[in-house]
Amino acid sequence: MSQKTADLKARHDAVLFPAVTQYYGDSPIAVDHAKDQYIWDIEGNRYLDFFGGVLTVSIGHANDYVTERMIEQIKRVQHTSTLYLTELMVQVAEKVAALAPGRLQKCYFTNSGSEANETAILAARMYTGNNTIIALRHAYSGRTTTAMSITAHGTWRLSPVIDPEVRHVRAPYAYRAPFEMTEEQLIELCVQDFEEVLATTTNGKIAAFIAEPIQGVGGFVVPPQAYFKRIMPLVKEAGGVFIADEVQTGWGRTGSKWFGIEQFGIEPDIMTFAKGMANGAPIGCTIATPEIAEALQGMTFSTFGGNPVTMAAALATIEYIEQNDLLTNAAERGQQLRTHLEALQAEFPYIGDVRGMGLMQGVEIVQPNTKTPDPARTAAFMNAARQHGLLIGKGGLYGNVLRIAPHLNVSAEDIETGAQILAKAAADVAN
Ligand SMILES: Cc1ncc(COP(=O)(O)O)c(C=O)c1O
């Protein structure tokens, strides 16, 4: 780390909570500026970005189409609060309702995924009159008290106060299923666990089942195709609604479809969005069926929810994805990336699993020829990729899953460049 970055890091640590940590341990990246697929640090190094600030810069840094619309809007009116009407908020809600599956029709805007999930839980509880929430182990839902309670990674559950009405059931995590089992057996195990948790820890009535279609922070865990179809009737029988947390999987990320849950042929009752919906402008959005939205009665308010500049960014981002057919690009470039990752898996015995959909691909790193997680080698892999000029992320309960998520408008050439760097990094950490 150069003196410049070291000085900034020292100043940072003097005035920010120690909980605000960075990737790359003692050698964090200090970002200077970014454009499209690249980020430059204050040392002048350029990196190809395959993480997008946690799947948030969905169509490239400082994307001209989005930036121009934000600048226009900031000059026109920057803030109104929801106490006044704006054309833009209505336009975004109309767009989301038109693209959302089934009867999802009414939006509530906030500023983050945590808030979007809070709103969803509140609406589900008011609609059903029930309190219990069933969530999946390995979930990540955010950092408010309820979102942290839904989160099922010990490391992210800091709050000493936990929502007592949240229960966790087995996640459909095929690679870490107990014993050697088929996908069908795993689904049966998950169904059994769901039924048992319901029967033993609740009065049989629930407000909601909340799940990420593909678990993000959990390490890009893709459920077996039939999983959600088997769980849905249990949710309905218990009087609950299904909340699909699309914070990572929404807006084309999984390829071919707008929303991750559509990959599993399910219509949720509520969906939540944030991250990639506005290409980096702070946003949260909860969309629900009219009757669920109707049930959220009384005074509730979000000062910055539906902020005009954020709405301009969201509308431009969604239009850009639509106009450039990025759902197809995500599927095709995702397949191209996946082929390279599978080749690496065949070569390196420490790559235990490659999984994901579209431009959301995970690589689980283990002790060679075992399933024992290897977080040290995972961190070394990330560092090696950085040394070669590529930024990727990591996650998973044990910190041993590489998360690779290029922008939705990534080119075939950039995938090749990224794959070459990943191959170099894989070789660097092989011994
Ligand atoms: C699936 C999922 N839901 C919710 C959240 C919380 O979003 P935020 O950090 O914007 O509050 C995250 C954040 O990583 C997430 O990945």
Q: Is the pLDDT of residue 1 over 80?
A: no
Cα 152 versus chain centre, distance: 15
pLDDT value at residue 184: 97
Cβ-Cβ contacts under 8 Å for 44 (sequence gap 6 or more): 32
42, exposed or middle or buried, with CB in 10 Å at 0-12, 13-18, 19+?
Answer: middle
Residue 424's SS3 state is helix
**Mean per-residue pLDDT of the chain:** 97
pLDDT value at residue 166: 98
- What are the tens digits of pLDDT across the range 334-361? 999 999 999 999 999 999 999 999 999 9
63 C-alpha to center of ligand 1: Å? 22
Q: State the Cα–Cα distance between residues 429 and 383, nearest whole angstrom.
A: 10
Domains defined along the chain, listed by start: 3-62+326-428 (3.90.1150.10), 77-323 (3.40.640.10)
Q: What ligand 1 atom has the least distance to the C-alpha of 246? A: 1
Q: Specify whether the CB–CB gap between 81 and 111 falls below 8 A.
A: no
For the question of whether the overall pTM of this predicted structure is more than 0.95, the answer is yes
- What are the tens digits of pLDDT across the range 318-328? 999 999 999 99
Ligand 1 proximity of 248 Cβ (cutoff 6 Å) = yes
- What are the tens digits of pLDDT across the range 72-92? 999 999 999 989 999 999 999
Task: Classify strands 390-391 and 46-49 as parallel, antiparallel or unpaired.
Answer: parallel
Cα 52 versus chain centre, distance: 11
pLDDT value at residue 367: 98
Cα 379 versus chain centre, distance: 20
Task: Classify strands 241-245 and 208-211 as parallel, antiparallel or unpaired.
Answer: parallel
C-alpha closest to that of 169 among 130, 211, 226: 211
Q: What ligand 1 atom has the least distance to the C-alpha of 112? A: 10
Q: How many helices (H) and strands (E) does the chain have?
A: 13, 15
What is the average per-residue pLDDT within 193-217? Answer: 98
Ligand 1 proximity of 356 Cβ (cutoff 6 Å) = no
What is the average per-residue pLDDT within 107-133? Answer: 98
4 C-alpha to center of ligand 1: Å? 31
Q: State the Cα–Cα distance between residues 191 and 210, nearest whole angstrom.
A: 15
216 C-alpha to center of ligand 1: Å? 9
141 C-alpha to center of ligand 1: Å? 5
- Under the banding of pLDDT at 50, 70 and 90, the label for residue 280 is very high
C-alpha closest to that of 57 among 406, 336, 423: 406
406, exposed or middle or buried, with CB in 10 Å at 0-12, 13-18, 19+?
Answer: buried
140 C-alpha to center of ligand 1: Å? 7
Place of tokens 């997680």: 373
Cβ-Cβ contacts under 8 Å for 52 (sequence gap 6 or more): 58, 276, 405, 406, 407
pLDDT value at residue 76: 98
Place of tokens 């865990």: 221
- Return the number of other C-beta atoms located less than 10 Å from residue 89's C-beta: 22
What is the average per-residue pLDDT within 155-179? Answer: 94
Pocket test for ligand 1, best of 58, 110, 140, 243 (most atoms within 8 A of CB): 140
Q: Is the pLDDT of residue 309 over 80?
A: yes
124 C-alpha to center of ligand 1: Å? 19
Ligand 1 proximity of 278 Cβ (cutoff 6 Å) = no
pLDDT value at residue 180: 87
Q: What ligand 1 atom has the least distance to the C-alpha of 111? A: 10
pLDDT value at residue 160: 85
- Under the banding of pLDDT at 50, 70 and 90, the label for residue 159 is confident
